Structure 1
Amino acid sequence: MSQTAEYEIFRNFGDLLEKYQDYIINSFIMVETHGYGKVYESRLSNGSIEYINRKVKDLKRLGRGFRNFEHFQTRFLYVTRQEPILNGSSNHNPVLYFDNDDDN
C-alpha cells in the first residue's frame, strides 16, 4: 500500500515500518515484572540502560575530562549508589560498638 502512495515521504515511511516491523511488534509484548512487592504486567523497556548511559555522559561532561580512569570509575559508582548519604550520615553501614570484656 505504501509503495503506491503519491508522495515519496509516505513511501519512505512505509519502507521504514516494513524494515523495523519485528522490533515494533516486540515493543508491545507484555512480560511479567516483579517490583514494589507485587507482580504485574508491563512492556519491556530499555529505560534503565538509558539512565546509566545518561549518568556516564553527565559525569564525563561535568568532570571536564578525567585523566585517571580509576577515579572516574569510583566517582561513577559513588554517583549511582543505591542508598545516597544525606548530611554525611547513612544507615547503610552502621557503626557497631563492642563492649570491652577485659578481665584485667
Structure 2
Amino acid sequence: MAAAEQRTAIDDTEPRYGSRHHRMAIYRNNLALAIHALDHHDEARREFAEAERIMVAKFGPDHPGVRSIRGNTVRLDGGEPPVAALNVTLRIHQRLRAVDG
C-alpha cells in the first residue's frame, strides 16, 4: 500500500513539477523505503540512486536530504528494515499532499 501511494504521488507530481524537482526526490526516496520493506532491493537501490541524483543537483552533496538518502542506502546494504524511516517519510508525504491539494 505504501509503495502504491508513493507511485501515485510520483505520477501526480511529475507533470506539475518535472522529474528533477526536489519533491520527486522525496517521493522516490519514500518509494525506495516502501519497496525495500517488500524485499525488492534492486528496485529500491535504483530509486535511492535517482533520489540522490536529484537532491545533489538541486542542493549539493552536503545537504541533509542527501545525507538522509545516503543513510537509507546504507541501511539497505546492511539489511536493516526501514520501518522507522518509512513511518517518518509517510508522515512527510501526507503533509506534502495536504499542501499540494
Higher relative contact order (CA 8 A, sep 6+): 2
* Larger strand percent: 1
Could you state the TM-score of these two structures normalised by the residue count of structure 1?
A: 0.27
* Larger helix percent: 2
Report the structure number with the largest CA radius of gyration. 1
Could you state the TM-score of these two structures normalised by the residue count of structure 2?
A: 0.28
